[in-house]
Amino acid sequence: ETGVTQSPTHLIKTRGQQVTLRCSSQSGHNTVSWYQQALGQGPQFIFQYYREEENGRGNFPPRFSGLQFPNYSSELNVNALELDDSALYLCASSLGASEAFFGQGTRLTVV
């Protein structure tokens, strides 16, 4: 077990709705990154938060947004859901520049 926990584990939403996914980082870790993993593909970087500030963003539209809280937990918000947003969303935590450890993911299905 990595100590990174994500909630919920599964979620079904309707196209056009908004969703919030949550991640608790491993104790002592101050950096959280979010990834989207489509079926049969490798994870793709969405963005990273370091000490509550966005610290890098991948090729995702602005309707993907995030937050990091003072306890270093994090949220991923997706507005105006599209069918293609259906995927496994992964959170990874690290202590600055160190190995990243992943949670078990949230499986989002958009119908």
Partner 1 sequence: GENVEQHPSTLSVQEGDSAVIKCTYSDSASNYFPWYKQELGKGPQLIIDIRSNVGEKKDQRIAVTLNKTAKHFSLHITETQPEDSAVYFCAASEWDDKIIFGKGTRLHILP
Binding flag, residue 101, partner 1 (CB under 8 A): yes
**CB-nearer residue toward partner 1: 19 or 105:** 105
Distances (CA, A) of 60 to 8, 27, 28, 105: 22, 28, 28, 18
Distances (CA, A) of 3 to 13, 17, 23, 81, 90: 27, 30, 11, 29, 14
| Of 111, 110, 108, residue with least CA distance to 11 | 108
Binding flag, residue 43, partner 1 (CB under 8 A): yes
**Which segment (13-21, 65-73, 78-86, 92-100) binds partner 1 by CB under 8 A?**
92-100
**CB-nearer residue toward partner 1: 81 or 93:** 93
Residues β-bridged to residue 66? 76
Instruction: Figure out which of the listed residues 66, 103, 108, 110 binds partner 1, where binding follows CB under 8 A.
Output: 103
Q: How many residues bind partner 1 (CB under 8 A)?
A: 24
Instruction: Figure out which of the listed residues 13, 45, 60, 73 binds partner 1, where binding follows CB under 8 A.
Output: 45
